[in-house]
Chains A and B, each alone.
Chain A
Amino acid sequence: MTLLRPVLVAVALIALWEAVVWLGGVPHYILPPPSIVAQEFVGRGDLLAEHAAWTLIEIAAGLVLGVALGGATALAMARFGRLRAWGMPLMVISQAVPVFAIAPLLVLWLGYGLASKIAMATLVIFFPIASAFYDGLRRVDPGWLDLARMMDAPPLSVLLRIRLPAALPAFASGVRVAAAVAPIGAIIGEWVGASAGLGYLMMQQLARGQTALAFAALVVLCVIGVALYFLADALLRRAMPWVPHAA
């Protein structure tokens, strides 16, 4: 039933959409009915797959880089007090700059290819990872730290063997948020200037009145987002078997 319910809701909404378009006489270039969008998947499947691959590469590379950089930053700030004092304001300022605003700059600096999109995605992912992980590293049971102190544990050992595993659930929440926002970075990058990718395909087809194909690209993007979230969730659960129901 739990699986059936969202499926039923989706089917009902799609049926409603179809009905509204046909009964209301909405032009297809404004709102294409689901049946026409579905036809695009059959007819232009290879085109969609080609552009989806580009976007997927951008997102995946952004995720890897963003998670690595965000994780390393959080660890370094937890380990070195001076870095924390200087790094924290910088991190907050970096987040206050809207990603939309620097997208044209990144394209200017890094070109129309993959690099600027990966940089965008990395930027979007970096902050949720760094802030969630750093929070987790700081909010460790003080009793554990007392115990480690009485055991004469060196600071690096405390960081890697107590703080790090203790902060993994917080890190996981950061990764889930990151997985959800990662496509945003890539798509914005593609809108500003690109020669491939689902965001580029959408802009191009909308300009030509090929709204149905743009919708199909949007559906693929949704699937990628949802798949990423569940993949990240499954991996994180497996990595932390001691955390009950890491939802």
Chain B
Amino acid sequence: MSSVTAAPAGASTGHSREGQARQAGAAVRRTAIAAPAIRLRGGRVLFEGTALFDGIALDLPAGRTTCLLGPSGVGKSSLLRVVAGLLAPEPGATLAADDGMPLAGRIAYMAQTDLLLPWLDVLANATLGARLRRDPAAHAAARQRAAGLLQEVGLGERLAARPATLSGGMRQRVALVRTLVEDRPVVLMDEPFGALDAISRLQLQDLAARLLAGRTVLLVTHDPLEAARMGHRIHVMAGAPATLDAALELPAAPPRDVADPMVLATQAELLRRLAEATAA
């Protein structure tokens, strides 16, 4: 476990902005607009009268991938939706980017369901953002980018297929491509690889990690191995109301090899924390 260092939750708040930029490294410069760090404080969300979480604090360091693990129904998706701005927390919460600019318009969002539009073909679904924004130039660029990415995820021959003709795993790949085509500095993903078989999951994690490098990412997942491969910081969310534990911080750049002893050790540690959280 020597390679895995546990830092207290919110440790990144102590980092200077320069420190975060250095951490993110050269990858930050790959995105057109620098990815901001995001800070949530005092998040409180009620579900049918009881608090899912109360006064939760979450830090997403700039250009880093933060993973959120935890048992089903604990509120991971709700927390992600709060960061997305889709779910308004109770008054008193603060959600802000460290560059002082609004978050709206800078976030790409991938929900737990693929949300493909059944009347559009694969390519049109993957370029939905540009279509909805009615920007012809951006649309043409998005089509090119989407076609390339669809090729990479093994759907190059299915650009004109309707979603109903695709398997669950294929649909999820289209949703992933749609998210990446948005090319936003902040990416929020809710179990993006859940519907995939083991091998395609690893392949798509590799692809996603490459394309997400330098972006500020929040990745909700059930899979400790996925968190160990993809995350710079990993939180286990548990309890009612739910709290976040001290994040595991992993130094090596994702995607990490499945056979890497550090990845396996992290996976074991995460499983231990999850079991503890479930038992409590």
Interfacial residues, chain A to chain B (CB-CB below 8 A): 141, 143-144, 146-154, 157-158, 161-162, 165-166, 168, 240-244
Q: Is B111 an interface residue (CB 8 A)?
A: yes
Task: List residues of chain A with CB within 8 A of the CB of B17.
Answer: none
Q: Is B108 an interface residue (CB 8 A)?
A: yes
Residue pair A153, B86 in contact (C-beta under 8 Å): no
Residue pair A161, B133 in contact (C-beta under 8 Å): no
Task: List residues of chain B with CB within 8 A of the CB of A152.
Answer: 104-105, 129, 132-133
How many interface contacts (CB-CB < 8 Å) are there between A and B?
58
The residues in B between 110 and 133 inclusive whose CB is less than 8 angstroms from any CB of A are: 111, 113, 115, 117-119, 128-129, 131-133
User: Given known contacts A143-B111, A146-B86, is B119 in contact with A151 (CB within 8 Å)?
Assistant: no
Q: Give Cα distance in the complex from A157 to B108, angstroms.
A: 18
User: Given known contacts A143-B111, A146-B86, A147-B111, is B164 in contact with A242 (CB within 8 Å)?
Assistant: yes
The prevalent SS among residues of A at the interface is: helix
Residue pair B132, A161 in contact (C-beta under 8 Å): yes
| Least Cβ–Cβ distance between A43 and chain B, in angstroms | 51
- Contact partner of B117 (CB less than 8 A), chosen from A153, A162, A240, A241, is A162
| Least Cβ–Cβ distance between B203 and chain A, in angstroms | 25
- Contact partner of A242 (CB less than 8 A), chosen from B84, B128, B162, is B162
**Chain B: interface residue total (CB-CB under 8 A):** 23
| Least Cβ–Cβ distance between B115 and chain A, in angstroms | 5
- Nearest A residue to B107 via CB reads A150
- Nearest B residue to A146 via CB reads B86
Q: Give Cα distance in the complex from A143 to B113, angstroms.
A: 8
Task: List residues of chain A with CB within 8 A of the CB of B111.
Answer: 143, 146-147
Q: Is B53 an interface residue (CB 8 A)?
A: no
- Nearest A residue to B105 via CB reads A152
Residue pair B132, A244 in contact (C-beta under 8 Å): no
Residue pair A161, B131 in contact (C-beta under 8 Å): yes
Q: Give Cα distance in the complex from A118 to B37, angstroms.
A: 63
Contact with A along B84-116 (1 / 0, CB 8 A): 101000000000000000001101110101010
Q: Give Cα distance in the complex from A95 to B131, angstroms.
A: 38
Task: List residues of chain B with CB within 8 A of the CB of A157.
Answer: 132-134
Q: Is B226 an interface residue (CB 8 A)?
A: no
Q: Give Cα distance in the complex from A86 to B264, angstroms.
A: 63
Q: Give Cα distance in the complex from A157 to B109, angstroms.
A: 18
Q: Give Cα distance in the complex from A147 to B182, angstroms.
A: 11
Task: List residues of chain B with CB within 8 A of the CB of A244.
Answer: 164
Residue pair B131, A149 in contact (C-beta under 8 Å): no
Which of A152, A165, A243, A244 is most buried by chain B, counting CB atoms within 10 A of its CB? A152
Pick 14 A–B contacts, CB within 8 A, sort by A.
Answer: A144-B115, A146-B81, A147-B109, A147-B115, A147-B128, A150-B109, A152-B105, A152-B133, A157-B133, A157-B134, A162-B132, A168-B119, A241-B162, A242-B118
